Structure 1
Amino acid sequence: MKIKVDKEADALYFRFNDAATVESEEVEPGVILDFDAGGQVVGVEFLGISKRATPVDLASVEFQAA
């Protein structure tokens, strides 16, 4: 998995694998899902992250496994 913060675009992107994105859909305002040819989600983009999280929150990432 790859996580990218784009400060210029004010976006946060989670990429789950390297499959090609063939379609994208905005499922909520500012939340975009990327799909592969099989209809599986391969990425999630959050726009306007400066309104969703503080710079301190974005400076560190915490992973939790269940």
Structure 2
Amino acid sequence: MKLHYYPETDSLYIELRAEPGAETREVAPGVDADFGADGMIVGLDIDGASKLDLSSLGDRCAAVGAEGGVTAPRASYR
């Protein structure tokens, strides 16, 4: 998992899989999900990211992986 923050648009892209999206769907107001050709989610685009508390995102993702959910390496914040 990689995090990409774009200050010019105040958006955060959470890359879950290193492949291009084939389709984008709005899943909530200000949140778009990118799906690969196989129908699996490849990333999330979040508008208004500076208003969110993302300080523990990596820890939360690691916890989900430990519980048998999505397995992803710890996030690196850049």
Q: Given the two structures, how large is their TM-score scaled by the length of structure 2? A: 0.66
Higher strand content, 1 or 2:
1
List runs of 5+ in structure 1 lacking aligned partners. none
Which residue is 1:26 aligned to?
26
Please give the secondary structure, in 2, of the residue aligned with 1:39: coil
> Structure 1 16/32 Cα, relative in aligned 2: closer, same or farther at 3 Å?
same
Matched residues, number: 62
- Quote the RMSD (CA, aligned, Å): 1.9
Q: Cα deviations across residues 12-37 of structure 1 (Å, max 9, x unaligned)? A: 11101112211001111100000000
AA aligned opposite 2:4 = K
Runs of 4+ in 1 over 3 A off after TM superposition: none
Q: Given the two structures, how large is their TM-score scaled by the length of structure 1? A: 0.76
List runs of 5+ in structure 2 lacking aligned partners. 67-78
